[in-house]
Structure formats: C-alpha cells, structure tokens
Amino acid sequence: MDDTDKRRLLLKFLDERVFRPIVDSPARQGPDAEFFREAQSRVHRTWARYPERYQTASAVKHAFLSDLRSPIGRQLAALLEWLGLPRFEDVRDDFLRLCDELDV
C-alpha cells in the first residue's frame, strides 16, 4: 500500500470517528448551545486543516499526536468531553493501532 492510500485511510478514520459525528450533529438548544456551536466551529476548522495541510500519512499521524498534546487541543478536548462529543483522546489507541497496522 502506498503512502497516499495510508493517508486516505487515516483521514477516513478520523473523519468517521471524530470529525463527522461532531460536524454533522444537529444544533443544540438550551444552556450549552453556545458552547456546542463553538466546539463545532473549532472542530470544523481542524477537520478542514487535516487534508489541506498534511500531505503524507506520517504528517497526519504527527498532527494527531501534536493536537493531543497542545494546550489548545487539550482545551478543546475538555469542552468536547463536557458536551459528550467524541475526542481524539477517545480514539487514540485505535488510531495508533491503525498507524501500526499501516506501518506509519
């Protein structure tokens, strides 16, 4: 399998397990509506950044790990957890397992 296919599989994994469930979620009403809109907007920007900026499977993996450790990423993860939405932290082990299977 070439790097383009590996990159595509990693992006598909993140799309299905994290990005789409958040971006496609219906708007919320009530006290957490504004927090939800903010989280959804931030995730949408991250979602767009991955295929645009990271052109190799290794770059996708590096960005994922960097986002897990960054202060901004940790802040977003706390908000997503509070809202009951999926986070990179929730799929970390499965993502890294896929990286190992793909030899990335």
| Separation between Cα atoms, residue 67 and residue 71, nearest integer Å | 8
| Separation between Cα atoms, residue 24 and residue 56, nearest integer Å | 26
What pLDDT is attached to residue 27?
Answer: 86
Mean pLDDT of successive 10-residue stretches along the chain, which has 104 residues: 97 97 91 92 94 97 96 94 96 98 98
Q: Quick check: pTM over 0.85?
A: yes
| Separation between Cα atoms, residue 86 and residue 80, nearest integer Å | 7
Residue from 61, 85, 60, 87 nearest 73 by CA: 87
| Separation between Cα atoms, residue 53 and residue 61, nearest integer Å | 12
